[in-house]
Protein backbone atom coordinates (compact mmCIF):
# COMPACT_ATOMS: atom_id res chain seq x y z
CA UNK A 1 0.00 0.00 0.00
CA UNK A 2 1.13 3.51 -0.71
CA UNK A 3 2.10 5.78 2.16
CA UNK A 4 0.18 8.67 0.56
CA UNK A 5 -3.11 6.73 0.71
CA UNK A 6 -2.79 6.35 4.49
CA UNK A 7 -2.33 10.06 5.17
CA UNK A 8 -5.36 11.77 6.72
CA UNK A 9 -7.54 13.67 4.30
CA UNK A 10 -10.61 15.87 4.48
CA UNK A 11 -11.97 14.13 1.38
CA UNK A 12 -13.69 11.32 3.25
CA UNK A 13 -16.82 10.73 1.15
CA UNK A 14 -16.36 9.22 -2.29
CA UNK A 15 -20.05 9.03 -3.21
CA UNK A 16 -23.61 9.33 -1.94
CA UNK A 17 -26.54 7.69 -3.66
CA UNK A 18 -30.16 6.83 -3.03
CA UNK A 19 -31.78 3.87 -4.76
CA UNK A 20 -35.36 2.65 -4.78
CA UNK A 21 -36.32 -0.89 -3.78
CA UNK A 22 -35.70 -2.10 -7.36
CA UNK A 23 -32.15 -0.74 -7.39
CA UNK A 24 -32.96 2.22 -9.64
CA UNK A 25 -31.02 5.42 -9.06
CA UNK A 26 -32.99 8.33 -7.64
CA UNK A 27 -30.02 10.48 -6.64
CA UNK A 28 -26.28 10.08 -6.89
CA UNK A 29 -23.28 12.30 -6.35
CA UNK A 30 -19.77 11.02 -6.96
CA UNK A 31 -17.03 13.18 -5.48
CA UNK A 32 -14.02 11.21 -6.74
CA UNK A 33 -14.17 11.43 -10.54
CA UNK A 34 -11.30 8.98 -10.98
CA UNK A 35 -13.12 6.26 -9.04
CA UNK A 36 -15.99 5.71 -11.49
CA UNK A 37 -15.55 8.23 -14.32
CA UNK A 38 -18.44 7.16 -16.56
CA UNK A 39 -22.16 6.87 -15.91
CA UNK A 40 -22.03 3.21 -16.94
CA UNK A 41 -19.34 2.42 -14.35
CA UNK A 42 -21.30 4.30 -11.68
CA UNK A 43 -24.50 2.39 -12.43
CA UNK A 44 -22.65 -0.94 -12.45
CA UNK A 45 -21.15 -0.10 -9.06
CA UNK A 46 -24.58 0.89 -7.71
CA UNK A 47 -26.13 -2.32 -9.05
CA UNK A 48 -23.35 -4.40 -7.46
CA UNK A 49 -23.77 -2.61 -4.12
CA UNK A 50 -27.56 -2.96 -4.25
CA UNK A 51 -27.37 -6.68 -5.03
CA UNK A 52 -25.13 -7.24 -1.99
CA UNK A 53 -27.11 -5.06 0.42
CA UNK A 54 -30.82 -5.02 -0.46
CA UNK A 55 -31.76 -7.98 1.76
CA UNK A 56 -30.65 -6.29 5.00
CA UNK A 57 -33.30 -4.82 7.29
CA UNK A 58 -31.01 -2.71 9.46
CA UNK A 59 -28.22 -0.16 9.15
CA UNK A 60 -25.16 -1.99 7.97
CA UNK A 61 -21.60 -1.64 6.78
CA UNK A 62 -20.37 -3.38 3.65
CA UNK A 63 -17.09 -3.63 1.79
CA UNK A 64 -17.63 -3.76 -1.96
CA UNK A 65 -14.96 -3.32 -4.64
CA UNK A 66 -12.46 -2.07 -2.06
CA UNK A 67 -14.82 0.62 -0.76
CA UNK A 68 -16.38 1.06 2.68
CA UNK A 69 -20.14 1.51 2.33
CA UNK A 70 -22.60 2.38 5.07
CA UNK A 71 -26.27 2.11 4.25
CA UNK A 72 -29.76 2.40 5.63
CA UNK A 73 -33.10 1.24 4.26
CA UNK A 74 -36.44 2.95 4.78
CA UNK A 75 -39.74 1.70 3.34
CA UNK A 76 -38.82 1.64 -0.38
CA UNK A 77 -35.52 3.55 -0.35
CA UNK A 78 -31.88 2.65 0.23
CA UNK A 79 -29.42 5.36 1.32
CA UNK A 80 -25.70 4.79 0.72
CA UNK A 81 -22.57 6.69 1.73
CA UNK A 82 -19.30 5.45 0.21
CA UNK A 83 -15.76 6.00 1.47
CA UNK A 84 -12.36 4.49 0.82
CA UNK A 85 -11.34 1.17 2.41
CA UNK A 86 -9.36 3.01 5.12
CA UNK A 87 -12.16 5.41 5.97
CA UNK A 88 -13.61 5.59 9.46
CA UNK A 89 -17.02 3.90 9.41
CA UNK A 90 -18.28 6.09 12.25
CA UNK A 91 -17.64 9.24 10.20
CA UNK A 92 -19.49 7.77 7.23
CA UNK A 93 -22.34 6.65 9.50
CA UNK A 94 -22.59 10.17 10.94
CA UNK A 95 -23.04 11.50 7.39
CA UNK A 96 -25.64 8.84 6.61
CA UNK A 97 -27.59 9.55 9.81
CA UNK A 98 -27.48 13.29 9.18
CA UNK A 99 -28.73 12.77 5.61
CA UNK A 100 -31.55 10.48 6.72
CA UNK A 101 -32.67 12.63 9.66
CA UNK A 102 -32.57 15.83 7.59
CA UNK A 103 -34.64 14.23 4.83
CA UNK A 104 -37.00 12.81 7.41
CA UNK A 105 -37.69 16.32 8.68
CA UNK A 106 -38.07 17.81 5.21
CA UNK A 107 -40.39 14.99 4.13
CA UNK A 108 -42.31 15.19 7.43
CA UNK A 109 -41.28 11.70 8.58
CA UNK A 110 -42.61 10.26 5.29
CA UNK A 111 -39.33 9.00 3.83
CA UNK A 112 -40.52 7.14 0.76
CA UNK A 113 -39.89 7.22 -2.99
CA UNK A 114 -42.84 9.39 -4.05
CA UNK A 115 -42.24 12.06 -1.41
CA UNK A 116 -38.52 12.08 -2.14
CA UNK A 117 -39.14 12.62 -5.86
CA UNK A 118 -41.68 15.38 -5.12
CA UNK A 119 -39.10 17.24 -3.00
CA UNK A 120 -35.96 16.55 -5.01
CA UNK A 121 -34.82 20.20 -4.90
CA UNK A 122 -34.71 20.05 -1.10
CA UNK A 123 -32.97 16.67 -1.21
CA UNK A 124 -30.14 18.08 -3.35
CA UNK A 125 -29.84 21.08 -1.03
CA UNK A 126 -29.52 18.76 1.98
CA UNK A 127 -26.82 16.66 0.30
CA UNK A 128 -24.92 19.81 -0.70
CA UNK A 129 -25.09 21.20 2.84
CA UNK A 130 -23.76 17.98 4.35
CA UNK A 131 -20.99 17.23 1.82
CA UNK A 132 -19.07 19.49 -0.53
CA UNK A 133 -16.65 17.86 -2.94
CA UNK A 134 -16.23 14.86 -0.63
CA UNK A 135 -15.56 16.99 2.46
CA UNK A 136 -18.01 16.61 5.35
CA UNK A 137 -19.35 20.05 6.20
CA UNK A 138 -22.12 19.25 8.67
CA UNK A 139 -23.32 16.27 10.66
CA UNK A 140 -26.11 17.89 12.70
CA UNK A 141 -29.53 17.51 11.00
CA UNK A 142 -30.94 20.59 12.79
CA UNK A 143 -28.17 22.78 11.38
CA UNK A 144 -28.70 21.36 7.89
CA UNK A 145 -32.45 22.04 8.03
CA UNK A 146 -31.80 25.56 9.28
CA UNK A 147 -29.33 26.23 6.45
CA UNK A 148 -31.67 25.05 3.70
CA UNK A 149 -34.57 27.01 5.23
CA UNK A 150 -36.99 24.12 5.43
CA UNK A 151 -39.27 23.90 8.42
CA UNK A 152 -40.75 20.58 9.42
CA UNK A 153 -43.98 22.18 10.61
CA UNK A 154 -44.66 24.28 7.50
CA UNK A 155 -47.26 23.08 5.07
CA UNK A 156 -47.13 23.90 1.36
CA UNK A 157 -50.07 26.21 2.00
CA UNK A 158 -49.31 28.16 5.14
CA UNK A 159 -51.98 29.98 7.12
CA UNK A 160 -50.99 33.29 5.59
CA UNK A 161 -51.36 32.01 2.05
CA UNK A 162 -54.83 30.61 2.84
CA UNK A 163 -55.84 33.99 4.27
CA UNK A 164 -54.47 35.70 1.16
CA UNK A 165 -56.43 33.33 -1.08
CA UNK A 166 -59.63 34.00 0.89
CA UNK A 167 -59.09 37.77 0.69
CA UNK A 168 -58.45 37.59 -3.04
CA UNK A 169 -61.59 35.50 -3.55
CA UNK A 170 -63.66 38.00 -1.54
CA UNK A 171 -62.36 40.88 -3.64
CA UNK A 172 -63.10 39.06 -6.88
CA UNK A 173 -66.65 38.27 -5.73
CA UNK A 174 -67.13 41.88 -4.61
CA UNK A 175 -65.95 43.23 -8.00
CA UNK A 176 -68.13 40.78 -9.92
CA UNK A 177 -71.20 41.86 -7.87
CA UNK A 178 -70.45 45.58 -8.32
CA UNK A 179 -70.19 45.30 -12.10
Identify the band that residue 17 occupies on the pLDDT scale cut at 50, 70 and 90.
Answer: very high
CATH class of 13-151: alpha beta
Of residues 162 and 88, more confidence is placed in 88
Most distant CA atoms of the chain, gap in Å: 84
Q: How many CB atoms lie within 10 A of CB 48?
A: 13
Least confident of 16-20, 32-36, 61-65, 135-139: 61-65
- The domain segmentation of the chain, as residue ranges, is 13-151
- First-to-last C-alpha distance (Å) of the chain: 84
Amino acid sequence: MEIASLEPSLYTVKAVFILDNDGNRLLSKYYDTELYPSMKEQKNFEKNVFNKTHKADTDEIAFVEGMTIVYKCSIDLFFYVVGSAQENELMLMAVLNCLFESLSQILRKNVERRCLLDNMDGVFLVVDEIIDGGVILESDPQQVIQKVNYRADENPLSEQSVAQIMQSAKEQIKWSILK
